[in-house]
Amino acid sequence: MRDYGIGGSFILLTSIIGTERGLYPGSAAYGSCLAGVNHLSRALAMELGKYKIRVNAVARGLHKSDAFIKTVSEEKQQKSVKDIVPLQRWLDVKNDLTSMVLYLVSDDSSFTTGIVIFVDGGQSIVRPRMRSYM
């Protein structure tokens, strides 16, 4: 992209665990790594902007396939989602994430760089302590 002068877009995939404290016990190492990815998106945006290269990150919310969510029963998952997610449903990886990534790689987002966009149904607003719900 840089060498050909065509610009472009990098999308880094991360999770709300990299920005929200204490979502569940045992996530310190994983959350710290994702926080590094979030910072990398901002730092690269500063460095690559002069080449018309945009860098953004998409922080996904928790979804039913996450290892922690799968440790509880289906009934508990359905009950908990109403308290954990303001939109009252788990993330649909295929549709929810895909639409955001497509937007970020398109020309419609040509002036968007260096941000972490949350695709989490509002989980990052509520900041639940997962153990208290599950």
Is 51 annotated as catalytic? no
- Residue 39, H or E segment: helix 28-48
State whether residue 5 is helix, strand or coil: coil
Contact indicator for 37, 110 with CB cutoff of 8 Å = no
Considering 4, 24, 30, 103, which one is annotated as catalytic?
A: 30
- In what helix (H) or strand (E) does residue 59 lie, and over which residues does it extend? strand 53-60
Catalytic residues: 30
